[in-house]
């Protein structure tokens, strides 16, 4: 008897694009499917897994949320990703569907390729690669190259095709997609959205579905059940690292953990973080903070200069209320100055 293969959806997209928000929506609207999630983060704090666990979504137990922090999955496929997938499919009650949230800096192709490994090939298939895009950030030119700088770099090394490391990650994520989600579009005009759709369509070598949304609020039927079998279709998904057989480094980016003592009010800290983000071009800030006299921890999220926060769950009584933030930026971030400003 041949068992049907468990579908897995890879959700990728740059730092802060809205992947965890989309996942939360999928889990809240699972339509009777037993969904397990693998969440991967660039830093070591495991904020996304914590965020999903604290949602207390009916039918989604803590066991169904597997966190793989500290390194992008694309570089830890054999050590972390495959064992985690095997553990999920070998459970007595395996999930109907697995959703994998990659880190915002991960390249999806090595992950898709892993589904061809003999240990999992007959048990799993990539149902689809979904790339979430921070639409206003793209329109603002966040992932754009400077053509003059590219020309100069290419004069020195013809194999280079970008001057901006963000552009390269963004393009690899778009090139792997079966479905592109333009998120945060409520901040954009219809004209901007249309231009962005056309731009993305010209960036992809094959026809890819593009949908628009805000807060990832798409019906689950649009996201799951794409039946793409992406692992059989690798040639159609070019990567900037094909020539190196997928090998690559993430040394254009760095992450740091900052310990933040209990604060009096969130607003003052957020104003400081906004100013620091602008001054130091910080890509992402997120974490949990302790606020004086508040029994709940404060979940804080920052993408560029946009910040959100809310109180989520009570601090564990036995654990010290240590506020921690993860800060991600490009290589050379002046973390000492940032630390001093927040101390
Ligand atoms: N205004 C606005 N904010 C959004 C939208 N979608 C997500 N966000 C916010 O953007 C921030 C980042 O969202 P996440 O879902 O954590 O993004 P992510 O892609 O998982 O981030 P990383 O895992 O760090 O790469 C959060 O503060 C979200 O609330 C949207 O459509 N509109």
Q: How far is the CA of 303 from the centre of ligand 1 (A)?
A: 8
Q: Kindly tell me if the per-residue pLDDT of 207 is higher than 80.
A: yes
Nearest to 29 by CA among 256, 224, 219: 219
Mean pLDDT calculated for residue range 11-15: 97
What's the pLDDT at 150?
66
What's the pLDDT at 155?
76
Mean pLDDT calculated for residue range 311-332: 86
Mean pLDDT calculated for residue range 108-130: 95
CB 286 within 8 A of CB 258: no
Q: Tell me the two tokens of residue 22.
A: 């989309």
What's the pLDDT at 205?
81
More confident residue, 205 or 340: 340
Q: Tell me the two tokens of residue 334.
A: 């002046």
Q: State the Cα–Cα distance between residues 309 and 289, nearest whole angstrom.
A: 10
Does the structure's ipTM exceed the value 0.95? yes
Ligand 1 in reach of 48 Cβ (< 6 A): yes
Q: Which of 11, 12, 16, 218 to mutate to test the pocket of ligand 1 (most atoms within 8 A of CB)?
A: 16
What's the pLDDT at 159?
67
Q: For ligand 1, atom 32, which residue shows the shortest CA distance?
A: 184
Q: Which of 65, 140, 170, 303 to mutate to test the pocket of ligand 1 (most atoms within 8 A of CB)?
A: 303
Helices marked H in the chain: 19-28, 47-53, 82-89, 109-114, 118-121, 135-139, 147-156, 165-175, 190-203, 220-223, 266-280, 335-342
Percent of all residues in the chain with a pLDDT value above 70, rounded to a whole number: 96
Q: Kindly tell me if the per-residue pLDDT of 269 is higher than 80.
A: yes
Q: State the Cα–Cα distance between residues 110 and 73, nearest whole angstrom.
A: 8
Domain 253-342 has CATH 3.30.1220.10: yes
Q: How confident is the model at residue 147 (pLDDT cuts 50, 70, 90)?
A: low
Nearest to 131 by CA among 10, 301, 35: 10
Q: Kindly tell me if the per-residue pLDDT of 10 is higher than 90.
A: yes
Candidates 2.160.20.10, 3.40.50.300, 3.40.30.10, 3.40.50.1220; correct CATH number of 6-244? 3.40.50.300
Q: Which of 301, 306, 329 to mutate to test the pocket of ligand 1 (most atoms within 8 A of CB)?
A: 301
Q: Tell me the two tokens of residue 340.
A: 């001093």
What's the pLDDT at 113?
96
Ligand 1 in reach of 131 Cβ (< 6 A): no
Residues 6 or more apart whose Cβ sits within 8 Å of residue 229: 125, 126
Q: Tell me the two tokens of residue 270.
A: 């957020």
Ligand 1 in reach of 24 Cβ (< 6 A): no
Q: What are the domain boundaries of the chain?
A: 6-244, 253-342
Mean pLDDT calculated for residue range 268-272: 94
What's the pLDDT at 160?
67
Q: Tell me the two tokens of residue 315.
A: 């601090």
Residue 342, burial from CB neighbour count under 10 angstroms (0-12, 13-18, 19+): middle
Q: What's the predicted TM-score (pTM) here? A: 0.94
Mean pLDDT calculated for residue range 145-165: 72
What's the pLDDT at 70?
73
What's the pLDDT at 175?
96
Q: Are strands 323-330 and 296-303 parallel, antiparallel or unpaired?
A: unpaired
Ligand 1 in reach of 15 Cβ (< 6 A): yes
Ligand 1 in reach of 13 Cβ (< 6 A): yes
Q: State the Cα–Cα distance between residues 102 and 38, nearest whole angstrom.
A: 8
Q: How far is the CA of 159 from the centre of ligand 1 (A)?
A: 34
Q: State the Cα–Cα distance between residues 27 and 9, nearest whole angstrom.
A: 13
Ligand 1 in reach of 183 Cβ (< 6 A): yes
Q: Are strands 323-330 and 284-289 parallel, antiparallel or unpaired?
A: antiparallel
Q: Kindly tell me if the per-residue pLDDT of 253 is higher than 90.
A: yes
Mean pLDDT calculated for residue range 269-291: 95
Ligand 1 in reach of 20 Cβ (< 6 A): yes
Give pLDDT tens digits for 215-244.
999 999 999 999 999 999 999 999 998 888
Give pLDDT tens digits for 80-105.
999 999 999 999 999 999 999 999 99
Q: How confident is the model at residue 245 (pLDDT cuts 50, 70, 90)?
A: confident
Q: How far is the CA of 137 from the centre of ligand 1 (A)?
A: 12
């Amino acid at each position: 008897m041949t068992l049907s293969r468990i579908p897995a959806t890879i959700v990728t997209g740059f730092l802060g694009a809205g992947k965890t928000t989309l996942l939360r929506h999928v889990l809240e609207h699972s339509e009777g499917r037993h969904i397990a999630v693998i969440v991967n983060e660039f830093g070591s704090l495991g904020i996304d897994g914590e965020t999903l666990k604290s949602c207390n979504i009916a039918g989604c137990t803590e066991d169904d949320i597997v966190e793989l922090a500290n390194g992008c999955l694309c570089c830890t496929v054999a050590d972390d990703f495959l064992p985690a997938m095997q553990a999920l499919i070998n459970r007595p009650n395996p999930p109907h569907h697995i959703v994998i949230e990659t880190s915002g800096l991960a390249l999806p192709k090595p992950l898709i390729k892993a589904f061809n490994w003999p240990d999992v090939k007959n048990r799993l298939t990539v149902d689809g690669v979904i790339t979430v895009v921070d639409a206003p950030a793209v329109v603002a030119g966040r992932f754009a190259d400077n053509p003059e700088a590219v020309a100069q770099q290419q004069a020195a090394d013809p194999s280079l095709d970008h001057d901006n490391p963000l552009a390269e990650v963004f393009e690899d994520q778009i090139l792997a997609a079966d479905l592109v989600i333009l998120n945060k579009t409520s901040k954009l005009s219809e004209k901007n959205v249309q231009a962005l759709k056309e731009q993305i369509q010209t960036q992809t070598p094959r026809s890819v579905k593009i949908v628009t949304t805000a807060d990832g609020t798409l019906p689950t039927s649009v996201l799951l059940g794409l039946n793409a079998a992406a692992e059989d279709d690798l040639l159609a998904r070019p990567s900037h690292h094909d020539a190196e057989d997928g090998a690559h480094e993430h040394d254009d980016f760095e992450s740091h953990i900052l310990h933040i003592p209990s604060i009096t009010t969130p607003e003052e800290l957020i104003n400081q973080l906004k100013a620091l983000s602008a001054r130091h071009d910080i890509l992402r800030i997120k974490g949990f903070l302790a606020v004086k006299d508040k029994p709940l921890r404060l979940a804080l999220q920052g993408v560029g200069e946009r910040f959100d926060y809310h109180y989520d769950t009570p601090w564990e009584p036995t654990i010290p209320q240590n506020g921690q933030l993860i800060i991600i930026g490009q290589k050379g971030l002046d973390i000492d100055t940032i630390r001093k400003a927040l101390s």
